[in-house]
Amino acid sequence: MSLTANDVTQIAHLARLGIDKQDIDSYTKDLSGILDLMTQMSELNTDNVDPMAHPMDQVQRLRVDTISEQNNREKFMSIAPQAEAGLYLVPKVIE
C-alpha cells in the first residue's frame, strides 16, 4: 500500500503537525514502506479473535471521590510559554 504526498499532507493536518514542504516526499516514502510492513498482518485470519487493548485485561480501578491533589496552580503556570493573571495566553481566537 502506498501513500501520496497529498495523503501525508492530510494526515499531518489531522495531527496538527507542521512538516516542511521539502520533507513531504521523504515522509511519503517512509510511511509507504512502513505500511507495506503492516500488510503482513492481513496474511492471518483473525475473525474470531478479541482485540487486546491491555496486557492485564484489567478493570478500571475506582477510588473514593475525595480531594487528593494539592493546588499547584502557580507552579504549573510558571513553566507556561505565556501566562498572565492565572490564564494561559494564546493568539486571539474570537475577533
Partner 1 sequence: MHTKSLTELAHGLRSGDFSSVELTQHFLNRIKKHQDLNAYITVTEEIAIQNAMAADARLTRGQVEPLTGIPIAQKDIFCTLDIKTSCGSKMLDNFIAPYNATVVEKFNQAGAVHLGKLNMDEFAMGSSNETSYYGAVKNPWNINTVPGGSSGGSGAAVSARLAACATGTDTGGSIRQPAAHCGITGLKPTYGRVSRYGMIAYASSLDQGGPMARSAEDAAILLQTMAGFDPKDSTSVDLSVPNYSEGLNNSLAGLRIGLPKEFFSNDLNSDMAAKLETAINEYRKLGAEVKEVSMPNLRLAIPAYYVIAPAECSANLSRFDGVRFGYRCENPVDLSDLYTRSRGEGFGKEVKRRILMGTYALSTGYYDAYYVKAQKIRRLISDDFKNALTEVDVIMGPVTPTPAFGIGEKIADPIEMYLSDIYTIAINLAGLPALSIPAGFINDLPVGLQIIGNYFTEDRLLNIAHQYQQVTDWHQHTPKGFE
Question: Which stretches of the chain bind partner 1, using CB under 8 A?
Answer: 3, 7-8, 11-12, 14-20, 23, 27, 30-31, 33-34, 37-44, 46, 49-56, 58, 60-61, 63, 72, 75-76, 78-82, 88, 90-93
Specify the length of the chain in residues. Answer: 95
* Cβ–Cβ < 8 Å for 24, 4: no
Residue 25 Cβ vs partner 1, minimum distance, rounded to whole Å: 13
Separation of alpha carbons 19 and 2, rounded Å: 19
Q: DSSP secondary-structure letter at 23?
A: G
67 vs 79 by CB, closer to partner 1: 79
Separation of alpha carbons 6 and 52, rounded Å: 32
Residue 61 Cβ vs partner 1, minimum distance, rounded to whole Å: 6
78 vs 84 by CB, closer to partner 1: 78
Residue 85 Cβ vs partner 1, minimum distance, rounded to whole Å: 15
Q: Tell which residue, 41, 34, 42, has the closest CA to residue 2.
A: 34
